[in-house]
């Protein structure tokens, strides 16, 4: 395996991880901003008030996005193993 092939493989792995994580991170960011605004308006500074809705948002986001995430991982793995002879010299 050449150095460029290793770099390309690592780049593909990082980009796949980025695209798989981005929707959940975006949901968490949106939930955090909304909860922070509610805390500012109501002057509630309780940690559980901030943590529980974020966890619920992540959970439901994961339930909704899990089929898409699984399909992306399966296609990435199939492409990786389908071209495995390129990496095994």
DSSP string, 13-38: HHHHHHHHHHHHHHHHHHHHHHHHHH
CA dist., res. 61 & res. 25, Å (int): 10
Residue ranges, the chain, pLDDT below 50? none
Query: Residue 66 has what pLDDT?
Result: 96
CA dist., res. 37 & res. 10, Å (int): 39
Query: Residue 27 has what pLDDT?
Result: 95
Query: Residue 13 has what pLDDT?
Result: 93
Residue carrying the six token digits 């308006």: 41
DSSP 43: T
Query: Residue 86 has what pLDDT?
Result: 74
pLDDT tens digits for 15-37?
999 999 999 999 999 999 999 99
Query: Residue 84 has what pLDDT?
Result: 75
Are the beta carbons of 54 and 28 closer than 8 angstroms?
yes
pTM: 0.77
């Amino acid at each position: 395996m050449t150095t460029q092939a290793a770099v390309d493989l690592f780049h593909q792995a990082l980009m796949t991880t980025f695209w798989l994580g981005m929707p959940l991170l975006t949901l968490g960011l949106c939930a955090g901003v909304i909860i922070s605004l509610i805390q500012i308006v109501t002057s509630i500074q309780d940690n559980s008030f901030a943590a529980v809705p974020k966890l619920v948002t992540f959970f439901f986001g994961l339930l909704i996005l899990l089929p898409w995430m699984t399909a992306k991982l399966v296609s990435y793995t199939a492409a990786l193993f389908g071209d495995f002879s390129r990496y095994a010299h």
